[in-house]
């Protein structure tokens, strides 16, 4: 299977060029060859450049909760959805990304979000909180209804440009996640994998687990999807995920 990068032609070179130009070349030009001034300039401008490059969340507002795809917002803005097994840390991640502790409900009760929740970010794009899958303690009928809702959204929502699949970094690759990922591949849905709760392990163990996960994926996939390592607790991975979204948004605007 091949990872589908439908709209994701990321402008890495232009980004690197911008970063190096702003943080290296510009201070040199402005300091007229004086090394001390150059160093101060470089530090100041590097901080400024990082801010320029990484997306700022200026506004994050709840829009609506929909029980089915046909009731989602009538809007054409790009959507980035988040999904994972109950308790994977989805609400915490959404709150961390948006810098808003109350945006998505964080709770220890698994599977509480049972609707498709839309949040409008910076009036530019939607963050979509999908119900968690792997619903323990639910009736067959309820599970079928939720699966239908999730599948309907993922397959029919044209505005969906990327699905973030959340995986707890502490666990071995779970059958239910691998099956879901395989289904995404078969359905040509662009996705990225987000490992959560990285603060719960040592950095070495995180790397080992992620490498082991990649190995499992490569048994079925020719290429790996984009992978992010995050911790809501330590705000790790925030810039990387937002940067990725920003890149896709820019590609979409320039393709219009």
Taking the complex as a whole, the smallest distance from the CB of residue 234 to ligand GDP amounts, in Å, to 7
Q: Which long-range contacts (CB under 8 A, 24 or more apart) does 64-68 make?
A: 64/117, 64/118, 65/115, 65/116, 65/117, 65/118, 66/115, 66/116, 66/118, 67/115, 67/116, 67/149, 68/116, 68/149, 68/152
Among 132, 134, 225, 226, binds ligand GDP (CB under 6 A): 132
Q: How far is the CB of 187 from ligand GDP (least distance, A)?
A: 23
With CB under 6 A as the contact rule, the residue among 42, 90, 118, 157 that binds ligand GDP is: 90
Q: Which is nearer to ligand GDP, 73 or 110 (CB)?
A: 110
Residue entry with tokens 């709150």? 95
Contact between 160 and ligand GDP per CB under 6 A = no
Site for ligand GDP in 222-251 (CB under 6 A): 231-233
Question: Counting contacts by CB under 6 A, is residue 86 touching ligand GDP?
Answer: yes
CB 92 to ligand GDP: min, Å: 3
d(CA 89, CA 6): 27
> Which of 55, 69, 87, 126 is in the footprint of ligand GDP by CB under 6 A?
87
27 or 132: whose CB is closer to ligand GDP?
132
Using alpha carbons, list the distances in angstroms from residue 160 to 9, 90, 128, 219, 229.
16, 18, 9, 27, 22
Binding interface with ligand GDP (CB under 6 A): 84, 86-92, 106-108, 110, 132, 196-197, 199-200, 231-233
């Amino acid at each position: 299977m091949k990872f589908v990068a439908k709209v994701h032609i990321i402008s890495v070179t232009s980004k690197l060029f911008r970063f190096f130009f702003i943080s290296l070349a510009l201070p040199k030009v402005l300091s007229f060859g004086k090394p001390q001034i150059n160093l101060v300039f470089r530090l100041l401008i590097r901080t400024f450049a990082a801010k320029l490059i990484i997306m700022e969340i200026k506004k994050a507002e709840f829009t609506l909760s929909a029980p089915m795809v046909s009731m989602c917002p009538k809007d054409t803005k790009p959507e980035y959805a988040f999904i994972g097994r109950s308790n994977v840390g989805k609400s915490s991640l959404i709150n961390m990304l948006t810098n808003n502790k109350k945006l998505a409900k964080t709770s220890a009760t698994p599977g509480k979000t049972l609707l498709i929740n839309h949040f409008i970010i910076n009036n530019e794009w939607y963050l979509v909180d999908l119900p968690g899958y792997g619903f323990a303690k639910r009736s067959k009928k309820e599970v079928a209804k939720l699966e239908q809702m999730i599948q309907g959204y993922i397959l029919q929502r044209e505005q969906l440009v990327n699905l973030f699949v959340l995986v707890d970094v502490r666990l071995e690759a779970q059958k239910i996640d691998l099956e879901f990922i395989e289904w995404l591949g078969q359905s040509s849905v662009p996705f990225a994998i987000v490992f959560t709760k990285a603060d719960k392990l040592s950095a070495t163990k995180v790397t080992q687990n992620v490498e082991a996960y990649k190995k499992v994926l490569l048994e079925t996939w020719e290429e790996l999807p984009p992978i992010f390592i995050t911790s809501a607790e330590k705000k790790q991975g925030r810039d990387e995920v937002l940067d990725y979204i920003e890149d896709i948004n820019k590609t979409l605007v320039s393709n219009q």
